[in-house]
Amino acid sequence: MEATGAEIVVRCLAEEGVEFVFGYPGGAVLNIYDEIFKQNKFKHVLVRHEQAAVHAADAYARATGRVGVALVTSGPGVTNAVTGIATAYMDSIPIVVVTGQVPTAAIGLDAFQEVDTVGITRPCVKHNFLVKDVKDLAVTMKKAFIIASTGRPGPVVVDVPKDVTAHLTEFEYPATLEMRSYSPVAKGHSGQMKRAVQMLLEAKRPMIYTGGGVVLGDASEQLAEFTRLLGFPITNTLMGLGGFPATDRQNLGMLGMHGTYEANMAMQHCDVLLAVGARFDDRVIGNPAHFAREQRRIIHVDIDPSSISKRVRVDVPIVGDVQNVLADMLVLLKQAKEKPDAAALNAWWTQIELWRSKDCLKYNRNGAIIKPQYVVEKLWEVTGGDAFITSDVGQHQMWAAQYYKFDKPRRWINSGGLGTMGVGLPYAMGVQLAFPDAQVACITGESSIQMNIQELSTCKQYRIPVKVVTLNNRYMGMVRQWQEFFYGSRYAESYMESLPDFVKLAESYGHVGMRIDKPEDVEAALKEAFSPALKERMVFMDFQTDQTENVFPMVEGGKGLSEMILAEEL
């Protein structure tokens, strides 16, 4: 039977087992929306801004490991979606974005709502397609899902002109598909893996540093077994949190610009470093020249060869999927006659414990003003450490990362690479829809939340009961902190005045609003928000926090990892 392009798009999504399509209609996609209206295989979620559609699809992917899907119209629909696409791209998140386009005959004629979607999105997608012939549509959709979800994942855009959605062709959805130009490496090189295991067993001061790749590659079980067998210290990047349990003593916490003292010191002073699914980001290793001053041998496991030896020289590169590579190295490790050097390891741990005893995350708990760190700690307690936490970008994001101890992967949903303010609320929506019974909290700032505040309306329509935890310091705190440290406390445009009454705002959408001013009320408010009585309700908590609190430790731009500013030194 012949089908129209619009039917084909919808049937391909159904074939892929898509549960949710996050989108917003417009002229170029009306044929597709008409087919969505007629089907019941997946649910369409109408957001209030296309950026939020892509963020919600992105969060769905981060939380479930499956491909997220968004649908937007041509022109402004696409340009609104670009921030979402770039956000997913920087963190390697598998999403497929279907975009409407003007009819093929109108392309290039400055038609109404025409933009060069393939051109605009090219630098921030893993791949993109313009489908000019309806006969190519099903195959292109299949390719999009394969490319998005395999190898190093990433966003794929499929641009479909309006006439193509009306044209007819036979519909057949390929079960699999070979692409001669695309074949990601899965298995690691056996010789390199042997060298790596040998090097690890010879180490005196070993360190394991893992990132988003462990989460994306669903390898946390393999990582846990590997790390525990070796007894080595481990640190996670911001994107890798939850890849190894935060409450495990072997975990030194996050490293990097706002990493713990012990993680950064161990990273700087180790003699063998095993990097797994982490890309030596500039917010992670500080000044690369300073990092290179210390002699250490580096083993780097990554599925993307271009991540290896990009910012630091690597001694043993291993290209492959982290799950396979760790499983294979685990076998080699168990077969090896040698054991890790127990005496050396003991001495190393003694040194690490000394660093850890600095207690670099301590803060003043006795004031009359709510400390943001305290809110996150209490949230961790109240949710039993088992919630999905999304965040926006700023100080609150760092406090969430530092004080909510993630023991499981895919629980921490944030924008690391692009650092996009405004992701928090749509992220929480995507996660909550995927896991309707889970506790989902969005830790945000009063500035970030306003960047996609319109989504309170989406939460109302679909009864999405996310809990928003606003650490309201009446400042773009992260900006204010830099201005305090590096610009002589000249707070140029980083205040947030004329704020709405968030309680009333939430209530106007039919949600529950709470304002919390005193430390002694924090716990009760959180308990109430997560109580069975409010389980079905969206709750907006506005915590009035200390305006001048800063995030510590901190490695200034250009400084070395071991040159941290600690709280007490100020």
Ligand X SMILES: Cc1cc2nc3c(=O)[nH]c(=O)nc-3n(C[C@H](O)[C@H](O)[C@H](O)COP(=O)(O)OP(=O)(O)OC[C@H]3O[C@@H](n4cnc5c(N)ncnc54)[C@H](O)[C@@H]3O)c2cc1C
Ligand Y SMILES: Cc1ncc(C[n+]2csc(CCOP(=O)(O)OP(=O)(O)O)c2C)c(N)n1
Query: Catalytic positions, please?
Result: 50, 112-113, 162, 478
Per the CB < 8 A criterion, the answer to whether 98 and 9 are in contact is yes
Total interface residues for Mg ion by CB under 5 A: 6
Partner from other proteins, Mg ion, ligand X, none binding residue 473, C-beta < 5-8 Å depending on class: Mg ion
Cα–Cα nearest to 193, from 320, 337, 341, 308: 320
Residue 302 or residue 446: which is nearer to Mg ion going by CB?
A: 446
Per the CB < 8 A criterion, the answer to whether 229 and 406 are in contact is no
Residue for token digits 């044929």? Answer: 31
First to last CA, the chain: 73
Give the single-character DSSP code of 530. Answer: T
User: Residue 404 phi/psi, 5° resolution?
Assistant: -95, 110
Residues 6+ apart with CB under 8 A from 119: none
Q: How far is the CB of 130 from other proteins (least distance, A)?
A: 7
Residue among 190, 306, 357, 547 that touches other proteins (CB under 8 A): 306
Per the CB < 8 A criterion, the answer to whether 230 and 197 are in contact is no
Work out whether 243 is an interface residue with ligand X (CB under 6 A).
Answer: no
Judged by DSSP in three states, 103 sits in coil
Per the CB < 8 A criterion, the answer to whether 545 and 369 are in contact is yes
- What tokens does 373 get? 């760190």
Partner from Mg ion, other proteins, ligand X, none binding residue 134, C-beta < 5-8 Å depending on class: none
Cα distance between residue 534 and residue 102, in whole Å = 45
Q: How far is the CB of 214 from ligand X (least distance, A)?
A: 8
Work out whether 176 is an interface residue with other proteins (CB under 8 A).
Answer: no
**Alpha helices (H) in 310-371, listed in sequence order:** 322-335, 342-356
Partner from ligand Y, Mg ion, ligand X, none binding residue 434, C-beta < 5-8 Å depending on class: none
- Interface of this chain with other proteins, residues 261 to 300, rule: CB under 8 A: none
Cα distance between residue 19 and residue 57, in whole Å = 11
Residue 309 or residue 457: which is nearer to other proteins going by CB?
A: 309
Judged by DSSP in three states, 328 sits in helix
Work out whether 242 is an interface residue with Mg ion (CB under 5 A).
Answer: no
Partner from other proteins, ligand Y, ligand X, none binding residue 284, C-beta < 5-8 Å depending on class: ligand X
Residue among 415, 452, 458, 473 that touches Mg ion (CB under 5 A): 473
Q: How far is the CB of 377 from other proteins (least distance, A)?
A: 41
User: CA 281, 284, 285: angle at the middle one, nearest 5?
Assistant: 95
For the four alpha carbons of 56, 62, 63 and 65, in that order, the dihedral sign comes to positive
- Interface of this chain with Mg ion, residues 443 to 472, rule: CB under 5 A: 445-447
Partner from other proteins, ligand Y, ligand X, none binding residue 179, C-beta < 5-8 Å depending on class: other proteins
Residue among 17, 108, 191, 305 that touches other proteins (CB under 8 A): 305
Cα distance between residue 51 and residue 46, in whole Å = 12
Residue among 153, 206, 240, 477 that touches Mg ion (CB under 5 A): 477
Per the CB < 8 A criterion, the answer to whether 427 and 390 are in contact is yes
For residue 139, count CB atoms less than 10 angstroms from its CB and return exposed for 0-12, middle for 13-18, buried for 19 or more. Answer: middle
Over the window 307 to 346, marking each residue x when it contacts other proteins by CB under 8 A and - when it does not, the resulting string is --xx------------------------------------
Residue among 28, 29, 131, 147 that touches other proteins (CB under 8 A): 147
Q: How far is the CB of 480 from Mg ion (least distance, A)?
A: 8
Side-chain half-sphere CA neighbours of 205 within 13 A: 17
Partner from ligand Y, ligand X, other proteins, none binding residue 310, C-beta < 5-8 Å depending on class: other proteins
Over the window 71 to 110, marking each residue x when it contacts ligand X by CB under 6 A and - when it does not, the resulting string is --------------------xx------------------
Work out whether 123 is an interface residue with other proteins (CB under 8 A).
Answer: yes
Work out whether 433 is an interface residue with ligand X (CB under 6 A).
Answer: no
Work out whether 108 is an interface residue with other proteins (CB under 8 A).
Answer: no
Cα–Cα nearest to 522, from 370, 412, 396, 308: 370
Residue 309 or residue 508: which is nearer to ligand X going by CB?
A: 309
Q: Which residues bind ligand Y (CB under 6 A)?
A: 392-396, 419-422, 445-448, 471, 473, 475-479
| DSSP class per residue in 402-417 | HHS---STT-EE---S
Work out whether 127 is an interface residue with other proteins (CB under 8 A).
Answer: yes
Residue for token digits 């525990």? Answer: 228
Give the single-character DSSP code of 235. Answer: E
- What tokens does 362 get? 């301590």
Residue among 107, 111, 118, 369 that touches other proteins (CB under 8 A): 118
> Which residues here bind Mg ion, judged by CB under 5 A?
445-447, 473, 475, 477
Residues that bind other proteins (CB under 8 A): 118-119, 122-123, 126-127, 130, 147, 179-182, 304-306, 309-310
Residues of this chain that bind ligand X (CB under 6 A): 91-92, 152, 211-213, 216-217, 237-240, 254-259, 277-279, 281, 283-284, 302-304, 307, 321-322, 393, 397, 416-417, 419, 478
